Amino acid sequence: MLTFPVAPKLADEVLAAIPRLPLKPDPVAVEGRYIRLEPTVLERDAARLYAISNGQPATLGGRSIEAYDADERIWRYLFAGPFVTLADFTTYMRPQVEAANGLCYTVFDTEAGEAVGVINYMNNAPEHLKIELGSIWYSPLVQRTHANTEATYLLLQRAFELGYRRLEWKCNALNERSRRAALRMGFQYEGTQEYHIIVKGRNRDTAWFRILDHEWPTVKPHLEGLLYS
């Protein structure tokens, strides 16, 4: 005889988070030891973000970079870019800032006080208690530093404190740097969705990663060890 199993009902305290969570996450600034996250204000941030992501030489405190290939270092696996003009870059950023179900953060280097990258809460689905971190990029000035790890840690911590059950991370399956970063930070690989979307006229297979709320008590000290030990 066939049976049709049903998942158990979620606890009332879990479901209680649903009506508390807005579709657009509250624009709250978050600060760590190395970086500070502030909701992106294009009038304040666009010019600096463009200047550190278009391949031109740049400096940050005592660090400097010569001219570089912006496509290879930043934009190759993102939905657009590199950008020829500041206006083009601002046009790309505006939908992220104005997203009804997301929140765009500018990442500031705490010591230098300068913008160094972007990270987004996106595809927010409060009715399912899940949200995604994505459209993430950093200037080569802070790649391979604590910037990405701490920004991810701070937004994971905030999301789980608010009551989300699932944090997602997706990337182009060819993006080995992003895949390694997700695994290093404690995300679990769930599989690859083939022929998922078309980006820049090319097929994109998408690799899916996630952290669930019951995994966070293990992931949290792991990230703190990477950052602060």
CA nearest to 145, candidates 30, 58, 227: 227
Query: Which pLDDT score is estimated for 146?
Result: 97
End-to-end CA distance of the chain: 56
Query: Which pLDDT score is estimated for 61?
Result: 87
pLDDT, the chain, mean: 97
Q: Which domains does the chain carry? A: 20-228 (3.40.630.30)
Query: Which pLDDT score is estimated for 202?
Result: 98
The answer to whether 94 touches 86, Cβ cutoff 8 Å, is no
Query: Which pLDDT score is estimated for 204?
Result: 98
Average pLDDT by consecutive 10-residue portion of the chain (229 residues)? 92 96 98 98 98 95 94 98 98 98 98 97 98 98 96 98 98 98 98 98 98 98 97
Query: Which pLDDT score is estimated for 62?
Result: 86
Question: What span, in angstroms and rounded, lies between the C-alpha atoms of 219 and 226?
Answer: 11
Three-state secondary-structure class, residue 132: strand
Query: Which pLDDT score is estimated for 29?
Result: 98
